[in-house]
Amino acid sequence: MGTIATSEQQARSDHYPSRGTSKAQLLKRLDPIVYSSVTTPSPISQTLVEGYKENGFIILEDVFGKKEIESLQRELGLLRNNEKIRTRAEVITEPGDDSIRSIFRIHQLSSIFRKLGTNRRLVQLAQYLLGDRVYIYQSRLNYKPGFYGKEFYWHSDFETWHVEDGMPIMRALSMSITLTDNYETNGPLMLIPGSHKHYVVCEGETPKNHFKDSLKKQEYGVPSIDYLSRLVDKSGIVTATGKPGSVIIFDCNTMHGSNSNITPYPRSNVFFVYNALSNHVVEPFCNQPPRPEYICAREAIEPVQV
Amino acid sequence: MGTIATSEQQARSDHYPSRGTSKAQLLKRLDPIVYSSVTTPSPISQTLVEGYKENGFIILEDVFGKKEIESLQRELGLLRNNEKIRTRAEVITEPGDDSIRSIFRIHQLSSIFRKLGTNRRLVQLAQYLLGDRVYIYQSRLNYKPGFYGKEFYWHSDFETWHVEDGMPIMRALSMSITLTDNYETNGPLMLIPGSHKHYVVCEGETPKNHFKDSLKKQEYGVPSIDYLSRLVDKSGIVTATGKPGSVIIFDCNTMHGSNSNITPYPRSNVFFVYNALSNHVVEPFCNQPPRPEYICAREAIEPVQV
């Protein structure tokens, strides 16, 4: 990992090809899911670890208390109405209007969210599951506002991170902290259990500056409905509903998405993506320049200290 | 009702004004909800009748058996793939692509669906609740396909039927028969209990040929988020989930909508709108010509015989 491979070298060693000349297919995952050995003391029960291995996600309830959540909700409101923030590149609006869909690099824009992303309990769990020191690869607030919150179509984060950012292997995970009630009705996160054990090769080119549109609405590199159906046929769909203060932890390759939200209840979550330090990005596995630093940290990567 | 009122006369007698020069507000419903007297024998229990009065809807499970539903599902598939049907005006496609969203006038396009819409149990119940002979005002299949099914934003049917079709008072109801599983995840019908007791006056003009767009995506005559929030604050949201063969019966003024559907499971329902014969339409309460006959029956209206 000391030197950055050339595109040619990568093409030869790309075990997770997707888009470009690739044809839609289902490949086996080649990497571990939990990287620490069973003898390493775990910050969560072995049952939860097994659940994470089997399903590709776990949900921990009541991780954060009422006061902590109120402080985060207040910060979320302040960021949303901060005119200086609204004009930044990190802010993604909903397709078709200017309400805020997501804010990226939230751990650098807000000291309160930085504190959350470097929370000892979260980071130690990420270190345990990934068996390495970790850094924050990406962070973002997803507002999913009431009335007009739009869907996020099915995707494996790893497929995009691999192709567009150059993440070498599946050794990263997301933690989504719920900041509002996540009901069945307000477009909760939906996950396909077991989907992380397969890699869904997608068809289609990666257009130039794809991220500018894909963060509003994904149209390239989407899994085919045939393979999605196969994955769902195996073990269905789980919705991650719960009170504010829950943490949804899911593997970088777990297929997930969410429906729209016409209810008055916003469905706001904050995501931190932890990547193993040894798994830092190389050149993208497509013929496009890397996405901006606020979407994928590539420079001056520092492990989170706990 | 013998003669059709002029626009001016209607303006004077319009108890449910909306759009045009109207300002957003909440008016009281002026009409009964159940029109038959308590002494009239009811085809459903008094508890269900009271539930309908209070909430504006009831859900009856297992009304149709497996064989009946299979036959309807088969017909649904045939209609969907019938090239002669696809090009008809009655067929509404999803916004942004050509997959079928709805087919109108289904009781005239298909003898199997005609039989369903004139089913004795459904019609007798409609007659009881509306206290009159009834006719089929509108019928439609809503496919809500898997993966790409789009949302239906909140609306009161009556607001549109009154303004755009000229339905005089709230004396109509819908019956939605579920043809597939309606899960929490595949964009089930959501209803706001008690919302039928209020009339939400909407702002905005009715554009010319509004129906051509509004059946894909409603943009005018939508209730304000303030009033929607007030209605939801009172009694929340109920999702109409259930197995195929259920019937959801809801008052013409019950606020309802549904989220998108990215799951592989289509959420297909067939709707029949029954209107009291005495409540047949007059001139629209807006400055536009009436919508086409396939959306709103206005000519040669005949009561359903049972």
- Amino acid, single-letter form, for residue B258: S
Cβ of residue A226 closer than 8 Å to a chain B Cβ: no
Mean pLDDT score, B21-34 = 94
Q: Under 8 Å CB-to-CB from B84, ≥6 apart: which residues?
A: none
Whole-number Å distance between alpha carbons of A95 and A133: 37
Mean pLDDT score, A84-97 = 85
The tokens describing A254, both together, are 């777990």
Mean pLDDT score, A203-223 = 75
The tokens describing B91, both together, are 């067929």
Cβ of B147 within 8 Å of Cβ of A225? The answer is yes
Closest CB to A184 among B225, B232, B239: B239
Closest CB to B225 among A147, A190, A233: A147
Whole-number Å distance between alpha carbons of B75 and B111: 10
The tokens describing A151, both together, are 């869907």
Looking at residue A179, what DSSP letter applies?
S
The pLDDT confidence band at residue A215, using thresholds 50, 70 and 90, is low
Which segment of A31-40, A163-172, B9-18 scores lowest on mean pLDDT?
B9-18
Does the pLDDT at position B3 exceed 50? no
Whole-number Å distance between alpha carbons of A271 and B281: 53
- DSSP letters, B182-241, are B-SSS---EE-TTGGGEEEEPPS---TTHHHHHTT---SSPPPHHHHHHHHHHH--EE--
Q: Quick one: pLDDT at residue B4? A: 45
Q: Quick one: pLDDT at residue B219? A: 64
Does the pLDDT at position A6 exceed 50? no
Does the pLDDT at position B44 exceed 70? yes
Cβ of residue B66 closer than 8 Å to a chain A Cβ: no
Domain extent listing, chain B: 34-279
The pLDDT confidence band at residue B5, using thresholds 50, 70 and 90, is very low
Which segment of A245-259, B98-112, B167-181 scores lowest on mean pLDDT?
B98-112
Does the pLDDT at position B8 exceed 70? no
CB A33 within 8 A of CB A52: yes
Looking at every residue in chain B, the average pLDDT score rounds to 91
Closest CB to A262 among B154, B229, B264: B154
Mean pLDDT score, B286-304 = 90
Query: pLDDT > 90: what percent of chain A?
Result: 75
Cβ of A185 within 8 Å of Cβ of B237? The answer is yes
Could you report the per-residue pLDDT of B181-199, keeping only the tens digit for each? Answer: 999 999 999 999 999 999 9
CB B224 within 8 A of CB B155: no
Q: What are phi and psi of A77, to 5 degrees?
A: -65, -40
A192: exposed, middle or buried (Cβ count in 10 Å: 0-12, 13-18, 19+): buried
Mean pLDDT score, B260-284 = 96
Task: Give the bridge partners for A221, in sequence order.
Answer: none
Residue listed under structure tokens 């959540």: A69
The tokens describing B169, both together, are 């008072």
Does the pLDDT at position B262 exceed 50? yes
Give the gap in angstroms from C-alpha A52 to the nearest C-alpha of chain B: 22
What is the fold of B34-279? Jelly Rolls (2.60.120)
Mean pLDDT score, A83-109 = 87
Within a 10 A sphere around the Cβ of B9, how many other Cβ atoms?
A: 13
Looking at residue A266, what DSSP letter applies?
-
The pLDDT confidence band at residue B145, using thresholds 50, 70 and 90, is confident
Whole-number Å distance between alpha carbons of B303 and B213: 30
CB B267 within 8 A of CB A259: no
Closest CB to A151 among B184, B232, B260: B260
Q: Quick one: pLDDT at residue A145? A: 86
Mean pLDDT score, A2-26 = 70
The tokens describing B55, both together, are 């909430």
Q: Compare all CA atoms of chain A with the CA of B150 and give the residue at the minimum distance.
A: A260
Highest mean pLDDT among A124-138, B1-15, B16-30, B207-221: A124-138
Mean pLDDT score, B165-179 = 97
Q: Which residue has the higher pLDDT, B12 or B44?
A: B44
Does the pLDDT at position A10 exceed 50? no
Phi-psi category of B187—alpha, beta or left, where left has phi over 0 and alpha has psi -120 to 50? left
Q: Which residues of B touch A261 (CB under 8 A)?
A: 259
Does the pLDDT at position A94 exceed 80? no
ipTM above 0.90, yes or no: no
Could you report the per-residue pLDDT of A176-195, keeping only the tens digit for each? Answer: 999 999 999 999 999 999 99
CB B235 within 8 A of CB B54: no
The pLDDT confidence band at residue B1, using thresholds 50, 70 and 90, is very low
The pLDDT confidence band at residue A3, using thresholds 50, 70 and 90, is very low
The pLDDT confidence band at residue A97, using thresholds 50, 70 and 90, is confident
The pLDDT confidence band at residue B74, using thresholds 50, 70 and 90, is very high
Mean pLDDT score, B286-300 = 90
Cβ of residue B226 closer than 8 Å to a chain A Cβ: no
Q: What are phi and psi of B217, to 5 degrees?
A: -160, 115
Looking at every residue in chain A, the average pLDDT score rounds to 91
Mean pLDDT score, B147-170 = 94
Q: Quick one: pLDDT at residue A9? A: 43
The pLDDT confidence band at residue B217, using thresholds 50, 70 and 90, is low
